Structure 1
């Protein structure tokens, strides 16, 4: 018996363009593109790429800040049956070169301010045969807009796809220090879009408006798919730098109804005086994910905005679908039974959450163990990494590496992490990645990076360094200079401490819990 094919995900855009051709799809400043225009541009780029030899299964690496073309490229990849490989635009050229090589990308589309990234990718990988510039193209490259203009008006039939055909490599860092490509598929993403619409922004339609404040390469890109599916306009910020006043101006001007963000950005937005200067009564859903929110920050947001907060817990590997805490389960009143303080919510529709012990047995209500999840939102696996796939999906569950417990109602509470990962400003930081860069400095013998609480960013990194005995004195300034260009700034430690030695286990492994305890003991961090 043969399974039926699934919908090519790009049909979501095509359906919306037919239903609401003249409604705004993307707004940036004074520029407005309708759904028909966007769909036509996507068709044009699909035809251009096909003429240039791009075929189903090819990977399209994208290095760009948020713009119309970045949004379009997701749909171009889906429609072609290709795989979208978006990068976090803040990554260094070397970091992006690794993504290009490991993904096997044959096409690279880049915003013209990132020429160094293209050169680095081409040095690292022999697979890239086609380079397309958003903006000014260099010799041997194609111009995105020239390609679109040349093919406007063409009709393009989407590739036939099956449930497990990949459509997106969602890069997620691992504790091994190198990012891994989570393989997201057409079948999986059809479920994810439906699930997100049901659980995060229910009732969304073509009269809604979404403000895009985070990079489309990750969670905000997933959120964009939902708004496209329902015909809600996407308002892009004028710059990648967050300006709270501009944000609230845009909320008032466009009557924004939903926004996807992280706790640190919510904090910045609601603490800024402009929150009281503009009308934000249109806002229905302010979704925050990526890290827990401090209760004080949560209360202030609820006081300023009303019951519009939606929290969800989810990793890239499960496309954000683990739990949700909807608006009615938030309250600024600590005595309100609906406040659910400290919880990240109930299991997502169609997903199952379990707390398992090290033997894969379910733990009773209230006991702490590893948070595991199963259901249609779980990734197919990691690209070219069977060992990591097997470990993550052991026993038929996706293992989050986070520790938590559930209460008698099934609400989840996260208590800690098995790994050393910490979350700074909503971005996952894996210390080993930073440690590996610091260890390439000639004066560094050993280093331990760990996250410590921070009132603004949630957590920030600190690094404890042991100098090589034969090396010259090394300063924090020299180590920051060493990180420049080798490691994205959001991963940098905030502070360096220099010790004679680091505590180790009987196996010679640095014991971070002892490092943390000694930092507190020495008064170098708070207890």
Structure 2
């Protein structure tokens, strides 16, 4: 039997786990859909054949500069054509794509370069400070993406110089790394989650099956988030079906322009996060442009509050698809398909759930001792399956904490009902203990958001000399709503939550701090509370 040898114990030991190189998706498209448009950015567009040629040329240039299989290529760029090409060029060589969030500071990107052991750095021309900060003895060269003066060469010049070069897709095994997916670093330093060719082939298949079934080359996909993370995974999935990727003309999130592009290109799917989706459905443009082509508006990254979910359903129809998943599991934990999203709060509505297990994945709610808990018991959400990453790069301590008996520990808390629907309570790190009672901010936030004047809220625990910790709610008013006082909001909430869950203080800000991915990290809210002197104020007030 080719590829196997006899095992002395009577079984078969696999010698090789050869799999498809992910860049073969481009090879397929160039053959089957060569003249169809595969990428649109502003007034420019590229066919799949042109994309495949550009990727081969960039791969040839990188190979000529000494990049070989296993080398890491750090990429710090705004969304653009050359950033997208760089992903497939890395895959084609068997190298590892290491994208960063372009909103990171120079010292943060320098850390990622060091932590990943990057050999090459492709840096957008708008970030010369990052290029300077990243330079280190291990880094062999810096090339520029887009306009500017930084770096040894421009990526566009490399592609032009290597025009016509043909680079075959490198032979890869299942466990060969293709992507270092840096976590957002909600606690401590960001870690590089190692994604592999075999794992990502499963992820692509799973996304198509569970999130957007029936997707073909006749669809179109609009990008409204950085390609460095979840949106990059989503667009890789689009490439697997020959779907054209459409970028906003600039990094600025122009909602009116997004809806204009949806109408102009008959966009059928979008990947986003709840805060961005909320902004879109509350913008006047939602009523000015035709968005009837949308079939799948996929949101992830955080649960969506029920009131925001209803508003989106009323504006867009039954096109919402929710998935729950971390970068380490590449988004593949649960799915809540469009048919289970209901605007009515009746018995058919699955209110508060993020859905059921993704195809091929298994979820377990576990206690601190690793014991699987019963239905409706709250514990840590753990998962196994082919979408789980290979581990953190060069970080055995983090790996030891992340896995237990083969299960990946998400750090999220929740419970499952008797039918297997998952309900997220919150991050383990978000939970706080007040007077000996565990309090999960999300359930309090859900209640606060039922007030018609409140558009956004973050509840977190802060130190208290008497109770140990108390809750604080930082609120943002809904646009156009009448102002509400702290006393009025407390009175509104009092009948809805037990007294021990009632926040001690309510603050009203113009906006909540958000990460580069549109999330609202509690650490940023806490930092802002401290910067405004409010933590000290809370600790001094009576309980």
* Equivalence for 1:479: none
User: Is the 2:363–2:384 contact (alpha carbons within 8 Å) kept by the matching residues of 1?
Assistant: yes
Q: Which runs of 5+ in 1 are unaligned?
A: 432-447, 458-487, 503-514
Alignment of 1:266-277 (within 5 A): 266-277=277-288
Secondary structure in 1 matching 2:278:
helix
Pairwise CA distance, 1:175: 5.8
Structure 1 residue aligned with 2:512: none
Instruction: Find the aligned partners of 1:416 and 1:183 in 2 and give their Cα distance.
Output: 25
2: CA distance between counterparts of 1:129 and 1:451? 49
- Find the counterpart in structure 2 of residue 22 from structure 1: 35
| 2:301 alignment counterpart | 290
Q: Is the contact between residue 73 and residue 122 of structure 2 (CA under 8 Å) also seen in structure 1? A: yes
CA distance in structure 2 between the partners assigned to 1:37 and 1:456 by the alignment = 48
Bigger relative contact order, structure 1 or 2 (CA pairs below 8 A, ≥6 apart):
1
2:250 aligned with 1:215? no
SS at match of 1:353: strand
Q: How many residues align?
A: 454
Give the distance between the partners of 1:176 and 1:253, measured in 2 at CA: 42
Q: What displacement does 1:3 show? A: 3.0
Please, which of 318, 324, 341 is the counterpart of residue 329 of structure 2? 318
Aligned to 1:93: 106
Shift of 1:85: 0.5
Change (3 A) 1:137 1:269: closer
> What is the CA-CA distance between 1:452 and the residue it aligns to?
5.1
Q: Matches of 1:489 and 1:293 in 2, distance apart?
A: 12
The secondary structure found in structure 2 opposite 1:27 is strand
Structure 1 CA distance, aligned partners of 2:520 and 2:124?
20
Distance 1:247 1:412 in 2: 32
1:62-211 matched pairs, under 5 angstroms: 62-122=75-135, 125-136=136-147, 138=149, 141-174=152-185, 176-211=187-222
Change over 3 Å in CA distance of 1:282–1:176 after alignment to 2? closer
Cα deviation for residue 154 of structure 1 reads: 1.6
Query: What pairs with 1:367-378 in structure 2 (closer than 5 Å)?
Result: 367-378=377-388
Structure 2: distance between partners of 1:152 and 1:500 = 59
Provide the aligned C-alpha RMSD in A. Answer: 2.6
Asked whether the 8 Å contact 2:73–2:121 carries over to 1, the reply is: yes
Q: Deviations over 1:243-273 (max 9, x none)?
A: 1111111100000000000001111111111
Give deviations 1:70-119, integer Å, cap 9, x for gaps.
Answer: 11111011111001000000000011010011101010001101111010
How far off its partner does 1:454 sit?
Answer: 4.4
CA distance in 1, matches of 2:149, 2:213: 45
| Over 6 Å off, 4+ runs | 421-424, 499-502
TM-score in terms of structure 1 length: 0.82
- Check conservation: 2:125, 2:150, Cα contact below 8 A: no
2:533 is equivalent to residue 498 of structure 1: yes
1:58 aligns with 2:71: yes
The superposition leaves residues 100-140 of structure 1 with CA deviations (integer Å, 9 ceiling, x where unpaired) of 11101010001101111010011xx3211111101346476
CA offsets 1:176-230 (integer angstroms, 9 cap, x no match): 5111000000010000000011111111100000000000000000000110000
Deviation at 1:456, TM superposition (A): 7.9
Q: What residue is the counterpart of 1:407 in the other structure?
A: 417
Report matched runs for 1:32-47 at 5 Å.
32-47=45-60
Q: Report deviation, 1:66.
A: 0.3
- TM-superposed CA distance for 1:500, in Å, is 9.3
Shift of 1:4: 3.5
How many Å separate the matches in 1 of 2:18 and 2:148? 38
Contact 1:356-1:371 within 8 A present in 2 as well:
yes
Quickly say closer, same or farther: Cα 1:278–1:54, change in 2 above 3 A.
same
| Correspondence list, 1:442-521, <5 A | 454=475, 491=524, 493-495=527-529, 496-498=531-533
Q: Give the distance between the partners of 1:499 and 1:248, measured in 2 at CA.
A: 39
Report if aligned partners of 2:128, 2:150 keep a CA contact under 8 Å in 1: no
Q: Is the 8 A contact 2:271 2:299 kept in 1?
A: yes
Counterpart secondary structure, 2:172:
coil
Residue deviations 1:31-52 (CA, integer Å, cap 9, x gap)? 1111110000000011111111
Q: Secondary structure at the match of 1:113?
A: coil
Partner of 1:279: 290
Quick one: structure 1 residues 456 and 115, their matched pair in 2 at CA, closer, same or farther if it must change by over 3 Å? farther
The structure 2 residue matched to 1:350, chosen from 360, 364, 379, is: 360
Cα contact 1:322–1:373 (8 A) shared by 2: yes
Q: Which residue of 1 aligns with 2:485?
A: none
Correspondence for 1:225: 236
Secondary structure of 1:37 counterpart: helix
Matching residue of 2:486 = none
Equivalents in 2 of 1:139, 1:306: separation in Å?
Answer: 47
Does the aligned pair in 2 maintain the 1:175–1:419 contact within 8 Å? Answer: no
The answer (yes or no) to whether the contact 1:62–1:109 under 8 Å persists in 2 is yes
